[in-house]
Chain A
Amino acid sequence: MNQRSKLLIIDDEEIVLDSCTQILAGGDIQIVTASNGTLGLQLLKEFIPDLVFVDLKMPGISGLEVLEGIHDFDPNMVAIVITGYATVTSAVEAMKKGAYDFLPKPFTPDELRLIARRGLEKRRLILETVTLRKEKEMLREQFAAIVSHELKAPLGAVQQNLFVLVDELSNQLTDEQKNRFERMQTGIGDLIKMILTWLRALSVDVNKIQETFQPTSIASVVSKAVETVQTHATRKDIEIVPSIAEPLKPVNGDEGTLVETLVNLLNNAVKFSRSGSQIHLNVEEDENDVLISVIDSGIGISKEDLPYIFNDFYSGKSGQAVEKGSGIGLAITRRIVEAHHGAISVESEPGKGSTFTIRLPALKVPEHA
């Protein structure tokens, strides 16, 4: 069953209240009226209307103040101002305070019906958006549970049994068969890793790390990150050259996830660099921030791709023949940096290389400590 739309009219002129009620009555609208702003705001809270008509010029609290009250109570409520002196200034001011539209006096019954219908339609769309947004959030939260149990668990069990089979059959398998087993294990291992990454990106609220922020040394973050990426770099014959302008102020943050961001950037740099090249990792300080730059001389990023690379699931459209990623790494990196109240930026030129820069607010070190 469709719920009736609720309409509140606030105006000091009884004749306006009566005629509006008469014009709009019938149909599926329930109408309540108030003869001043204070009463109107009280009714608002009990009646919870979908649409409010407010006269701008009333004795007592003004229509603009009522608009503010409506907005504070529920920003999703639709308000339309009725104004007897339809000047552009008053209308603009009302719109600025959150009014959806305005109705100049005098108005014809048709004008009123039309604007009421439009206002209610607007309200319906707003409510629909709110519901959809809520549903999306719920889906996101449930995603963790669904993915981990329905996708990851069976893969884990398959992998577990592959381990066992290889072990039990180790004396009977030919090298070719062992090789095939290995490839299956690698494939499933990669799938599990990919699921974990998606899970991480979609279900975990990165801002939770803020609960455990503490003074963190960037030098230590850098050395841990470089250590993690070293094998990948060595295998491609790429040298990572860190350069840290000591002394550095610490940042307020979470070491684990900061290492993760840097590992993501370094891994990308390695992935998109040519064998035998160098990746520079520079850390310096300006007035308030610590700046970490990862500079490669690799294939670079095309102009079309550049604005999107920090978005979820974006892994490049330009079709270069390189390893493909999950398209999640940079999105996670950006979220972690933002959770640290920092910013990440990129400059790149195709064929010449890319520079990613993370800017994190430095901790103020007490003078006397």
Chain B
Amino acid sequence: MNTKIMMIDDDPDFVAGIKSILEKADYSVDVAHNPKDGFQALQAGRYDLLLLDIMMGRGAEGVALARKIRKDPKLKEMPVLIITGLREQIAFLFPGQSVHPHFVETDELVEKPVEPKLLLEKVSSLLALAEEKKQKVPG
């Protein structure tokens, strides 16, 4: 079965640049351009991984979405790759935490722009990690 990826990012040019890397590697990619549509799509469909932008709309709306996902029983297991142009500020938005704050159970952080090789590596390692966790849960 085809691996399905959801991407939530408000910058269509950036989305185009990411989507074509993933599609070339045989992932199927759906896109939402704001957190609200993205969350609805995630609840309606079945996705294996989420690519999430942090700075959308009026501020760090991606963070709010990640917190919502963590509380959702159906979505909380889903691995999330955070793609952000804001690594520098994240350390200051969340002082005292490492540069990579863990917003959800299984997540990773890469900086915009991301090289194709690195992107594919992160995606496949996150998918593998999620699969591993799933099998550990009995029943």
Residues of A near any B CB (own CB < 8 A)? 144-145, 148-149, 152-154, 156-161, 163-164, 167-168, 192, 196, 199-200, 204-205, 208-209, 211-212, 256
Instruction: For B13, give its contact among A148, A157, A167 (CB under 8 Å).
Output: A157
Q: Complex formed: what's the CA distance from A209 to B59 in Å? A: 22
Given contacts A160-B14, A161-B16, A161-B17, contact A144 B115 (CB under 8 A): no
Q: How far is the CA of A79 from the CA of B21 in the complex (A)?
A: 69
User: In chain B between 1 and 51, which residues have their CB closer than 8 angstroms to a CB of chain A?
Assistant: 11, 13-14, 16-18, 20-21, 24
Interface hit among B69-77, B81-89, B121-129, B130-138: B81-89
**Which of chain B's residues have a CB closer than 8 A to the CB of A192?**
113
Which residues on B are within 8 Å of A, measured CB to CB? 11, 13-14, 16-18, 20-21, 24, 55, 59, 85-86, 88-89, 91-92, 95-96, 112-116
15 examples of A-B residue contacts, CB within 8 angstroms: A148-B55, A153-B112, A154-B13, A156-B14, A157-B13, A157-B113, A161-B17, A164-B20, A164-B116, A199-B89, A200-B88, A204-B92, A209-B95, A212-B96, A256-B91
Do B86 and A148 touch (CB < 8 A)?
A: yes
Query: Are A160 and B85 in contact, CB atoms less than 8 angstroms apart?
Result: no
- What residue in chain A is nearest B87 (Cβ atoms)? A196
Q: With both chains docked as a complex, state the minimum distance between the C-beta of B118 and any C-beta of chain A, in angstroms.
A: 10
Is there contact, CB below 8 Å, between A153 and B14?
yes
Closest to A167 in B: B116
Q: How far is the CA of A139 from the CA of B57 in the complex (A)?
A: 20
When distances are taken between beta carbons in the complex, the residues of chain A under 8 Å from B16 are 161
A residues in contact with B85, CB < 8 Å: 148, 152-153, 156
Q: Nearest A residue to B98 by beta-carbon distance?
A: A256
| B residues less than 8 Å from A211 (CB atoms) | 95-96
A sample of 14 more A-B contacts (CB under 8 A), given A160-B17, A208-B92, is: A148-B55, A148-B89, A153-B14, A154-B13, A156-B14, A157-B17, A160-B13, A160-B113, A160-B114, A167-B24, A192-B113, A204-B89, A205-B92, A256-B91
With beta carbons under 8 angstroms apart, the residue of B59, B89, B92, B112 that contacts A160 is B112
Chain B residue nearest in CB terms to A199 = B88
Closest to B16 in A: A161
Interchain nearest-CB distance for A330 vs B (Å) = 19
Bound CA–CA A279/B13 (angstroms):
45
A152 to B113, CA, bound (A): 10
Cβ-defined contact, B95 with A163, below 8 A: no
Contact of A196 among B13, B18, B88, B91 (CB under 8 A): B88
CB-CB < 8 A to B115: which residues of A? 163
Residues of A within 8 A of B92 (CB): 204-205, 208
Residues in chain B near residue A204, CB distance under 8 A: 88-89, 92
- Closest CB in chain A relative to B129 CB, distance in Å: 24
Quick one: which of A164, A192, A199, A256 has the most chain B CB within 10 A? A164
> Which residues of B have CB within 8 Å of A209?
95
Q: In the complex, which residue of chain B has the Cβ closest to the Cβ of A204?
A: B92
B24 touches A159 (CB 8 A): no
CA distance A25 to B44 in the complex (A): 74
Closest chain B residue to A158, Cβ basis? B13
